[in-house]
Chains A and B, each alone.
Chain A
Amino acid sequence: MNILTYLIPISLVLGGAGLAFFVFTIRSNQYDDPEGDARRILSGEYDDHPKP
């Protein structure tokens, strides 16, 4: 059962990290143009210098 002392904190930290990343994506307006973003990755145009 000692394994639990590692596993539970690890799972909580990983979940927390996921949440933190999600909050970051919301705050940086990454859901404003889902359709455009889906198409942009198909174009080589932005490969060398990504758009802000």
Chain B
Amino acid sequence: MTATLRSPVSACPACSAAPSAEALAAAQEPIKAHIVLSLPTIHCAACMAAVERALNAAPGVRSARVNLTMKRVSIEADADVTAADVIPLVTGAGYEAHELDTTALAATQTDRAGRELLMRLAVAGFASMNVMLLSIAVWSGAEGATRDLFHWISAAIVLPAVAFSAQPFFRNAWTALRAGALNMDVPISLAILLALATSLWETSLSGEHAYFDAAIALTFFLLTGRYLDHRTRSVARSAAEELAALEVPRAWRLTDDGEEKVSVSELAVGDLLRVRPGSRMPVDGVITEGTSELDRSLLTGETLPIFAEPGREVSAGEVNLTGPLLIRATAVGRDTSLHRMADLVAVAESGRSRYTSLADKAAKLYAPGVHILSALAFIGWYMYSGDLRVAVNIAAAVLIITCPCALGLAVPAVTTAASGRLFKRGLLIKDATALERLAQVDTVVFDKTGTLTAGAPELTNLDDFTRRDLEIAMALAMGSSHPLSQSLSAAARAAGITPAPVTAITEVPGYGAQGDWNGQMVRLGRASWVGGSAGEMTSAWLRVGDGPAQAFTFTDRLRDGAEEAVRGLQEAGKTVILMSGDTTAAVEALAKRLGIAQWLAEALPQDKAGRIDALTRDGAKVLMVGDGLNDTAALTAAHASISPASALDAARVASDIVLLGNSLAPIPEATRTAQNATRRIRENFTIASWYNVIAVPLAVAGLCSPLIAALAMSASSITVSLNALRLR
């Protein structure tokens, strides 16, 4: 990992004396590797210092900087340094480290939109501070020429500031108007523009009232709401991207001169690939050589591994368990069945936008109401007084005072508080309306394999075997990486068994392991190979010499917090349903163990989605929790959906909420937080409405001076923000 000094190779002596072309090229292009590692366990100043010290001390590393907010370290190093070189340094310092795919992270490196919003927010903030100083002088009694001067200075500050800061509102309002629709930004933009226009007019006539301060304060408050909203989502987005970046996709391609490690994006149809035990199929293909077993639980929900032999088709995403396989690619990249499924989900996703959020509903009522009210005030006052100037002033005052400072802050302030809380518990809210939908849920559907269960088997019948058999089985199982073998040897070790002296152990990929024990042949493996009869349960068979074959049966280990989650949801009065693609026996056993009354076994992907549609038609609001490709349709069909971080990319894309931790326990709490958040949002709307009920008549009556407008506006915004902070 140290930088190697290349000796210049060239034919002529003159060239050797002159700096070689190679060295020149190397000097020109910055030889740098940019490596990003995820450090999930760091949490304090000491951790940061330890990681940075370990990395900076390494040769070849130019700089390392830890970002504690994102729990990452970015490393600038010489070109020949790879992630595999630096990960041991970090783990050596005592911290977990995973490589992140820098190309997948590129979008989060600089948050352009967020930075732009922050800049506009800053301009609006500083401008409003200065204008407030001048306005206070006017309110406390500045008269005549002084007042006019102050108004003109205010105008000089506010006009450019609003032109820069309020652009997001103007842009949104314009697109809405062009599409012939009304959104929240239309009354906002109109109020800002009308306030500026009438203030300018008043100032030029050396009038008493100008609303420059109101216009810029309005912009400032609303931008705060926008920025909060953006922050919430960018945290979710960057975390979601990090999940995707954790799987650095590489594959081993066989070429004429051996094997090469390539990135999956470079693969083409017809390539011959080697898939080692324990790795995922990178493409769809056909097995050309080798036997093994495939774990398809993420795709179909089956727990039992299936047998793989030449000629069998494999799909991207399946895990190769025991033996190395050679496969010929038949579909790569976007054409693989995995991606096609994810694309289908994306299409189905657009159908979900049918849900209108509370904020949108409020805006639909609000926008036309305000405009009608302000127009009526204008007409009424014009007919009453016959003075255009008075009428326009009052219409502007109505628009400003009703303007949705509180409404614009009500939702973002609450969702930011709630998402922040859930994020700390390991739940990532991906969708803007996910919280509201989660709050309405009354039925929860769980997938089995990989969701309620950890997907790792657990031995159930250890006591049925004699100590001798266990010792033999343990000896055979210890050398294998098959999940059943690992679970078997772990259980035997926990029971204090020591392996028997079995010699000449060989693993037959796809079948099992065999060896020699006191001159007898012993075998541990598949039913057909050992001589047992395959049953319903997940099992591995053991045969000693000519004795009968005996089955070790396994059941899935429950995921952490599965019992708490199911109990918590049932106590909260929600119906819990179990749906799985696995066999009836396995599903029934799990349902009994967790106390779930309703279950559905051997369900195909469309069965799951169909069942959820049926439940929805019956009026239920369904929350789907699932992780596999076979769940994606159901995840999209459900009212709200959660998937664990261990799920396939396609499932994570389809779901609204991603569970970052290993435990399911936070789910009941998440529904509670979501309900609280929705309650706060409604309270905020009530506060905003009450404020309008009091302030609007004042404005219509023409009693609303700029001072009163400023007080009322700030008061309502601050109440709404404080109410959001109460969310605990």
Contacts and interface: CB of A to CB of B under 8 A. Distances in A.
Interface stretch (B114-122, B344-352, B370-378, B689-697): B114-122
Contacts of B68: 33, 35-36, 39
Secondary structure of the B contact surface, majority rule: helix
Given A8-B153, A19-B122, A22-B126, A52 B63 contact: yes
B614 interface: no
Interface in B113-159: 115, 118-119, 122-123, 126-127, 129-130, 133-134, 146, 149, 153, 157
A32 B70 CA distance: 9
Nearest to A32: B67
Contacts of A45: 45, 49, 53
Contact of A15 (B66, B118, B126, B146): B126
A34 to B, nearest CB: 6
B147 to A, nearest CB: 12
B48 interface: yes
B162 to A, nearest CB: 15
Interface in A34-52: 34-36, 39-40, 42-43, 45, 51-52
Contacts of A18: 126
Given A33-B69, A39-B45, A26 B146 contact: no
B122 A36 contact: no
A31 interface: yes
Nearest to A27: B115
A33 B129 contact: no
Nearest to A43: B45
Secondary structure of the A contact surface, majority rule: helix
Contacts of B46: 43
B65 interface: yes
B179 interface: no
Interface residues of B, number: 29
B130 A36 contact: no
A33 B126 contact: no
A33 B146 contact: no
A33 B127 CA distance: 27
A45 B52 CA distance: 11
Nearest to B70: A33
A4 B45 CA distance: 49
B130 A1 contact: no
A38 B720 CA distance: 28
Contacts of A19: 122-123, 126
B65 to A, nearest CB: 7
Contacts of A26: 115, 118-119, 122
Contacts of A34: 69
Interface in A1-32: 1, 4, 8, 11-12, 15-16, 18-19, 22-23, 26, 29, 31-32
Contact of A39 (B48, B115, B123): B48
Contacts of B122: 19, 22-23, 26
B44 interface: yes
Contacts of B53: 45
A32 B63 contact: no
B130 A15 contact: yes
Interface of B: 44-46, 48-49, 53, 63, 65-70, 110, 115, 118-119, 122-123, 126-127, 129-130, 133-134, 146, 149, 153, 157
The 8 A-B pairs with the shortest beta carbon distances in the complex, nearest first, are: A36-B68, A39-B45, A19-B126, A33-B67, A35-B69, A43-B45, A15-B130, A35-B68
19 contacts: A12-B157, A15-B127, A19-B122, A19-B123, A23-B119, A26-B115, A32-B67, A33-B67, A33-B69, A33-B70, A35-B69, A36-B48, A36-B67, A39-B48, A39-B68, A45-B53, A51-B65, A52-B63, A52-B65
